[in-house]
Each structure stands twice: as structure tokens, then as C-alpha cells.
Amino acid sequence: MADGPTGSSEESDHNHDHGQGHDHNHDPKRTHDLRENEAVQLSVPEMDCPSCAGKVENSVQKLDGIEDIDPQVTAGTLTVAYDDSQTSAEAIKERVEKAGYNVETDASEETVTFTAPEMDCPSCAGKIENALNQIDVVTYDTQPTTGNVVVTYDSSSLSVDDIANAIKGAGYEITDSSSEKDPHTDNGPAGRESVWTSSRAIKTWISGGFVTLGLLFEFLITSQNALLATVVGRELFVADILFLVGIGIAGQVIFRNGYYSLLNRNLDIDLLMSIAIGGAVTAGLAFGKSLYFEAATLAFLFSVSELLERYSMDRARNSLQELMDLSPDEATVRRDGDEVTVSVDEVSVGETVVVRPGEKIPLDGDVREGESAVNQAPITGESIPVDKTPGDEVFAGSINEEGYLEVEVTSESGDNTLSRIVEMVEDAQANKTEREQFVDRFSAYYTPVVVTFGVLLALVPPLLFGGSWVTYIVYGLTLFVLACPCAFVISTPVSVVSGITSAAKNGVLIKGGNYLEAMGDVDAIAMDKTGTITKGELTVTDVIPLNDNTEDDVLRCARGLESRSEHPISEAIIDRAADRNVGDRDVSDFESLTGKGVRADLDGTTHYAGKPGLFKELGFDLGHVHAATDGGIVTQKTEQICEKNRCLDLLEGVVPDLQAEGKTVVLVGTENELEGIIAVADEVRPAAKRTIERLHDLGIEQIIMLTGDNERTARAIAAEVGVDEYRAELLPDEKVEAIQELDDQYGGVAMVGDGVNDAPALATATVGVAMGAAGTDTALETADIALMADDLTKLPYLYELSHDANSVIRQNIWSSLAAKSLLALGVPFGLVPVWAAVLIGDAGMTTAVTGNAMRLSRISPEKLLDRSPTQSDHPDKGESFNE
């Protein structure tokens, strides 16, 4: 009721800042400004006063690695010096936009995405980056986990072909390119040839055949191993020739890639393997002792290793491709009275698409005709189909279960909810975790150190101690094989890809690997009350008739009184009356009684609805009110009655009891008679209590409810759902202070809110989680993690997934590092042959870390919530995968 009865339990008043995103602990995607490596100048024409400059400066300063900021108000430009190992030009641009200012880009700047499927590790990405450094592009972003290279360039000085040639010059084939990210472009593994039937695979199998024949002649049918030729004075037998042919076939790609690595000054596995294979052949010729078997084995097994790595990476990429494949490529559109099937790219906003039972909804839109249950699980993760009627919103990629729908399109194919999810998931993969940054720093030292050790091992023992040249050269070459940290470096990104895409398919959008990591490490969670723990919508919880009236009588009068008000309490009462199908009253002379309630004539009789205080002013004795009965049974709220007169004490009994439950009390009556009591409240979500219990089971130490609502309501809700602590009557800045206190106390805190009203608190928390973000741009942009459905039960799933992802990342990092280290330590003692270095140190560990990462895809919200709450899930008590 606008100025109507607000009762004694006010609803939460959210007067929060809107739309202020954040980059707390932001780890921007690996995008490089190539024109000036540590400075960027942005055009910000709307920054036209010192106050504007101050806002922009404060926003940019929130990034790590900012060294100097120079806003030029008169020129409308912003020059920022920064450490490009901690932040990027793109991240700085985002912070300027977060401050509310548009950054103008050069009209000639364009962005193109290339698909280079063979770029499947950081080492490969490094070669492409070095190649792009040689041409005048603006920025680039290499994504090994998706096989994409996103390049922004000045079209006035460069062409797409120039960039493509640079990538090809680094040794990588381009299978596709597009000027925009298109979720319908088939760039995924399904759209490429099978790894096992590719040209490299065929060469590998042929090479393996020659190596096998060589082994037969070398060790089994030695009598047939005849001398065939002499080269530089060295005899070559049948087995030697077979081994050399095997080297030539499998080594063709290896030496080619090694050449490009050398050309781009990249000390990677291709260059190291080329040196190892070439060194073994050269040593054989130089010292007269055949090392062709070792070289051939190395070439063949490394090729197998590369195929396994490619296959493993394709498995990780498949999880993202599944998201892309959710949306259909075609739509049935109604045009000029006819139904035509066209590409979704050709459908415009405002057109009507027809969706029949069993079909996927092609684009975001609003239902105009028809009713149906729609399976929104691909977008929101909801397990139960949602009923859709005219006026309801539907999302691209969701499935029409049973009815016929006509949907008015509200967004184009590249701008719908699914497209934004795919784009954010792709961007999230480049957002490095702290562990990934550690691995990058470590690997920068690891490879040179091991290579140096390999050179010393090959040279020092023969030169100083009279060791066998052949033996120690083989040892040195084996260390070269172990010098590339591919499995070690890729251990974190494949885990992040698996975790983030798995979450997206379950309706949880995680906007960066750093947030995936951080969520699993928090020990405290703060939750907003309204819209998070509660539904955020007022409903009638109790109707208590008085003086021989019925519930329908009370609702009929209340509906008439509230029909001209737009207050949420009025809407709740009207909705309840409509559900009961109570009749209408003739309403006249409506009047709002500010701060007290409303008055109106119903069928010619004056009625009132409002606070208890209003009826005290009208002269009612609220201590003795006659209770009504229903079928002879006194309602629950009328149990405490006067012995003789069957009276209720509203002031000391009913009203305080209802208010203690966090409900707002509205009395309804005439000037002479109290007709009834209506209690209204924001209902607690049915799963709220179970969710909080589950979070405690999982090891969360402190769950605190933050609300702007009054103390009494907050206390009642907190007691009902079981939070550890609550804080009431908080202003937005006080919520921020509470988050800061929790962060200081626990070393990390997650904030769960509606993504709009709670923006300041979400921005301050270690991780901000927005509820019900599907179709809400602000929520998607504001939070670090978005629960696409209005479903609180996804929170335990999110924490479980994040915690287990951290465990997988740790396992992958340390197991791959341990394997490499143990193998390297065993080489000088002759314990590790070349084949073991390749199969265990390279192929084996790459396959192992990828397989371990894919376990994250088996965690699901349904299985999580079905598990017994008594089962040990504390992070300190071991793994807790739901398989």
C-alpha cells in the first residue's frame, strides 16, 4: 500500500548502488599491448572535468600493477603505465568503463578470431605470440584450452591474411576464422578431423611400422641384418636404415615445428625434441655406435605423445563445445503469414518464431501465444521444467517440452543469454589463478635449468672423468626430453576449463579461474536476506477472522481496500484473494492515511485496513477481541482466549507473536467492528535451511545474514534458517564494512546477493555471487559468479566444485612436477631410458592431468544434495567427489 499499512515489520529497503562491477583480486586475461608494452593511452571523451578524472583514476587504481595514471581532461585521454605481468590494457579499459565512462576505439580497429587446433599448450601459444609480436597488431589473446587466437588489429595497416600468415609462419594450421565470436560456428573438436586419423597420426603409424621392423632385424632376426651402406665411414645395416626411415617420417613434423620454435626464439618441446633426435643421429655417426634406435624410438613415441596430448585437450574442449551446441542453427519464423525456416543469424529483434513440442528455442524472447513447460536446464540448471505462459521470458537453448509456443525475439543470435554465457566462459579460461601464475613463473626457470643440466651431463663426465660419450650424450638428450614442462603448465588450465564449463552446464556461471579457486578457499559466507534467503516477494501467511467473519469475508474486504494501492503488501493481499476467488466489493471514497493505513467505502460502508495503532485511534479495545471459529474449530492463533467471552488479546498475544515471526500485521474492519487480521511476510525459500546446513557440512565456518530489515524480522529469519550470525538494519556502506570485517577475520569471504541491489558488498567480497542472473545483464556483469536460476541450492554445489577443483589443481601440479623431478634425478644414474621419459614424463602426465581434471564434470547439484548431511565433507578430511 503506498502510504498504507506497513505494520510493525518493515520489508528490507535496498538503496544500494547499481551496476558497479568490480575486479577484486582481478587477474585479467592474457592480452598484450604490443605498441608499448607497459603503457596504454585511452580516449575517454566523457572525462571532461577533474571530478570525472578522479573517478576514473580511483577505478583504475584498484588493479594490481598500476604504476602511473595521467588523466588529461582537456584532451579527453587517459595514459596509464602498468606492469604487464600483473594487468593488461584490456583490464584497464574495463576499469574505466566500470567508472561509468565509454572508451572510444579507433574506427579502423577490428577483431578476428582464428582457430588453430594444434595450439594445445602454453608452449604452442608462446610461438604464436612471438610471431604476432613481429607484426603491428594492437592486442592478442591466445587460448590453448579452446584452440582460439583472438587478435585486434588496425585494418588500415594490416589484413586478416597478414595475421593468418604470421600464425602459419609459427607452424600452426588455421582451420577457421571469424570477425566475431559466433556461438554457432563449429570450431570444436566435433567439427575437426579425428586425432587418430589425422595426417600426423598416419605418419606416426607408418613410422611405428618401420621402427617395429627395425627392432625385428636388430634383436630377433639378426642374421638378416645385413650391411646396406656406408656414410661418412660409418656402416649402416638394415635395422639402421629402417630406424632412419622411421625418424624421417615421424620427425618431419617435429623438425618443422622445431624450426619455427628456433625462428621464434622459443625454447619449447618441439625444439628440444628436434635437438634430442638430431643429436642422437649425429652422435651415432660421430662415435660409430648406433643411436638410431634411440632416435627412432624418441621420434615415434613423441609423435604418439603429441597425439595423446591433442586428444586429451580435445576432451577438455568438448565441454565448451557442448555449450555452443545448445542453441539450434535454424529457426522457424512467421513472415507475411507464412512460416519459413531460416538461419538464426537472419532473425531480427521483434520477429516471431514458432517453437513446436520437442524443439529447442532458438533465440531469447517473450512468449506471445501458447503455453508449455520449458526445460531451462541448459541455461539455468533447473532440473524441473518451468511453465511458460504469454508474457514470460524464454532463453535460447532451452527445450520446449510439450506445448506450442510463439515467441517474440528480444535479442539477436550473438547477443542472447546463451551467447553471453559462452563468451564469458571463454574469457574466464584466460583469467589465471594464483597457482597458474606460480606455475608460469616456475616453468620460466625450470626449462633453462634442466637444459643446462642436460648439456653439462653430456659433456662434463666424458671430458673430466673419462665417461662414455655415447652413454652421457644419451643421458643429456633424455634430460632435454624432460626439460619441457608441458604437463606441468597445462595441469591448471585444463582443470579450470573442466570446472568452469561443468558449472555453466549446471546453471552456475564462473567468470574466471581465479574466482573458481577463491570460492573453494573461503571459510565465511555472507548472504543478503531479501531475494536470497527469502523469495523477495511478499505473500499472505495468515488470515485470522474475527467476530464471526470467515477468511473469505476478511479477504473480500481487504481486497477492496487495497485494490487502489500499489504497495507490495497490497499486491500480496490481492493475489491471495484472487487465489481464493473471493468476490469484488464496490469501492468508493478511497483515502490513504499516511503512515497508518487506508480507508474506503465498500458497498456504502466505511472500512479500514492498517496498523494496530490505527484501530486503537478508532477506539477499539484490542485486548479483548472476539475470535471467530471455522466449523467449530478455533484457529491456531485463537488458542489463548478469555475463559468467558472467547476473546483474543491482540496487543499482548496475537500481534506480537506474528511480529516475532518476522511478519507484518494488517487489521481489517469497519468503524464498529474488527473483521480480521492478515499477516504478510517475505517467505523463506524452502531450501534455505537445508542449504545452510549443507554449507556447514562442507566446512564453512561462519554463515552470516546481512539485511536492511528490522531487528525483529532478521532475528526470526535467522533462527528459522540456522545462520551463525545476523546483522540487521544495515545501510549499503554498513554491509560493506561487515564484509571487510569478515574478510579480515577469515582471510576470505563470499557474498551472496541479488547482483543489483547488493553491488557494493559483492564488489568488496573476495567472491561476489549473484542470485537469479539469467536474463539480467546487470547481475551477469556485476558478480564474479552468477547462479543463473533463482536457486539457492546451487550454492553448496558451487562450493563443492570449487573446493574439489582446487584439490585437482594441486594434485595435477605436484604430481606432474614430482614425476618430472624423479625422472630427471634418475637420468644420471641410468635409471630412465628415453622411452620412459617420453611416455611417462610427457604423454603419460599430460593424459593423467587431463583425465584427473575431467573428474570435475561428474560433480552435480542433484547428487550433492542427495548425499547424507552426516557424511564427512570437511575440506580437511580428504576428497569428496560426487561420482
- The runs of H, that is alpha helices, within 563-669 are 568-579, 612-617, 655-660
Q: What is the DSSP string of 805-861?
A: HHHHHHHHHHHHHHHHHHHHHHGGGT---HHHIIIIIIIIHHHHHHHHHHGGGG--H
Secondary element (H or E) of residue 734 = helix 732-746
> Per this entry, what is the length of the chain?
883
Residues 6 or more apart whose Cβ sits within 8 Å of residue 227: 235, 236, 237
Which triple of cell numbers denotes residue 508? 552456475
Asked if residues 139 and 92 have their Cβ atoms less than 8 Å apart, the reply is: no
Active-site position among 141, 528, 784, 873: 528
Per the annotation, the verdict on 528 as an active-site residue is yes
Assign 3-class secondary structure to 225-282: CCEEEEECCEEEEHHHHHHHHHHHHHHHHHHHHHHHHHHCCCCCHHHHHHHHHHHHHH
Alpha-carbon gap, residue 651 to 338, rounded angstroms: 67
- The runs of H, that is alpha helices, within 26-173 are 50-60, 89-98, 122-133, 160-169
Burial of 805 (0-12, 13-18, 19+ CB in 10 A): buried
Secondary element (H or E) of residue 369 = strand 365-369
Give the CA distances from residue 695 to residues 326, 529, 865, in Å, rounded to whole numbers and listed in that order.
Answer: 31, 17, 11
Asked if residues 804 and 879 have their Cβ atoms less than 8 Å apart, the reply is: yes
Q: What 3-state class would DSSP assign to 688? A: helix
Query: What phi, psi does 632 have (nearest 5°)?
Result: 85, -5
Alpha-carbon gap, residue 342 to 339, rounded angstroms: 10
Residue 65 backbone zone (phi > 0: left; psi -120 to 50: alpha; other: beta): left
Within 13 A of 302's CA, how many CA atoms are on the CB side?
34
Give the torsion sign (CA, 296, 300, 301, 306).
positive
State the distance between the two ends of the chain, measured CA to CA, in whole angstroms: 51
Other beta carbons within 10 angstroms of residue 651's beta carbon come to: 15
Q: What 3-state class would DSSP assign to 787? A: strand
Other beta carbons within 10 angstroms of residue 222's beta carbon come to: 12
Burial of 301 (0-12, 13-18, 19+ CB in 10 A): buried
Q: What is the DSSP string of 28-47?
A: ------SSSTTEEEEE-TT-
Alpha-carbon gap, residue 176 to 114, rounded angstroms: 6
Catalytic residue numbers, as ranges: 528
